[in-house]
Amino acid sequence: MFLKSLICLFPWLILATTETSIAKAGCQDTCGNISIPNPFGVGEPHCYQQSGLQLVCNESFNPPKLLYGNIPLVSISLLNGTMTVGLGVSYYCYDRAGELSDWQTWTFTLNENYYFSDTRNKFTAIGCDTNAVMSDSFVEIFKSGCMSVCANERSVVEGSCSGIGCCQTAIPKGLKTLNVSLSSFYNHKHSWDFNPCSYAFFADSEQFNFSLPNLLNFTGMEPKIDNYISFPAVFDWVIGLETCEEAKRNWTSYACGDNTDCANYANGPGYRCQCNQGYEGNPYLIDGCQGNKYFASSFIGIMSPA
């Protein structure tokens, strides 16, 4: 009978320690197949912590798309403080005579709650006649890039992004604005048969793997921005512009709930919340961090002999 009681009780204990709410009560917690954890939210202002963390669930798509501005989201991580998105790919395409036939360039400026992740993203260019440059909008803070060339398909190495058909470079810490520009040395006239276009974009290094077919027709990955080519990239996100010490002076706006700790963002202003050791859940809800210790000790108490 004792063993049977334990078998019935144990699944309840597991559920009690793992099932936690991610959104405020009464607020939408999913859009399509993407979870919306507080401090983010859609709809009413009480559903998100700050205006910069307001998202839009566009239900005209099937399934609905969760958007930051016009940028589609892939996922939000509370644990890592990251947001994976579909970011636009800039490209210049040429005809056989070397005339520009199609092009698209992107400029992105993030609000105060977001930074381009310098640990996850690489500035990436694809092409055999390609010079790609990234900068801030007015080229006042930085300008950097890489060059990719190749004489023929045989010289390209699959999976390698070292400057032969593909090149990559690191991005600076604390980057909030991105402007991409592309140029070609010979307008792809010498490589047009196997590479008519130059491409440049931020790529999540965990998801990008260069392959030879990318030279002829790079299609990126879902989700796309307004049907343009896109590729997954990663934002770091924070709460506001304050440090933890400054935020704690105003408890009405302080974002961390009970049983939490506060951590300053390393690469700029802002902070994040995390559950204390022994607790799990959403640290941005008042009672979002639930402890495992109580359930563990209760279970031990039940098993202990009288």
Q: Pick the closest to residue 35 from 7, 64, 8, 9 (CA basis).
A: 64
Residues 6+ away with beta carbon under 8 Å from 58: 64, 65, 66, 67
Q: What is the tens place of the pLDDT at every residue in 194-252?
A: 999 999 999 999 999 999 999 999 999 999 998 899 999 999 999 989 999 999 999 98
Pair of tokens at residue 215: 């030279």
User: What was the pLDDT predicted at 19?
Assistant: 42
For the chain, which residues score pLDDT lower than 50? 1-19, 294-306
Q: Please, what is the average pLDDT of the chain?
A: 88
Q: Give the model's pLDDT for residue 139.
A: 63
Q: How far apart are CA 90 and CA 86, in angstroms?
A: 13
* Domain range list for the chain: 83-237
CA angle at 43 for the pair 113 and 32, rounded to the nearest 5°: 90
Q: 171 with 121: CB under 8 angstroms?
A: yes
Q: What is the pLDDT of residue 3?
A: 41
The pLDDT value recorded for residue 291 is 86
Give yes or no for a contact between 171 and 118, defined as CB atoms under 8 angstroms apart: yes
> What gap in Å lies between CA 42 and CA 292, rounded to an integer?
30
Q: Say what the pLDDT of residue 23 is.
A: 92
Q: What is the pLDDT of residue 305?
A: 46
Rounded CA gap, 106 and 233, in Å?
Answer: 14
Residue 128, sorted as left (phi over 0), alpha (psi -120 to 50) or beta, turns out to be: alpha
DSSP secondary structure string for all residues of 135-162: E-TTSSS-EEEEEEE-SSGGG--TT--B
Where does 28-162 show beta strands of DSSP type E? 30-31, 34-35, 56-58, 65-68, 71-77, 82-88, 90-94, 100-104, 107-109, 114-116, 121-127, 129-135, 143-149
pLDDT of residue 263: 97
Tell me which DSSP letter residue 299 carries. H
User: CA end-to-end span of the chain, whole Å?
Assistant: 16
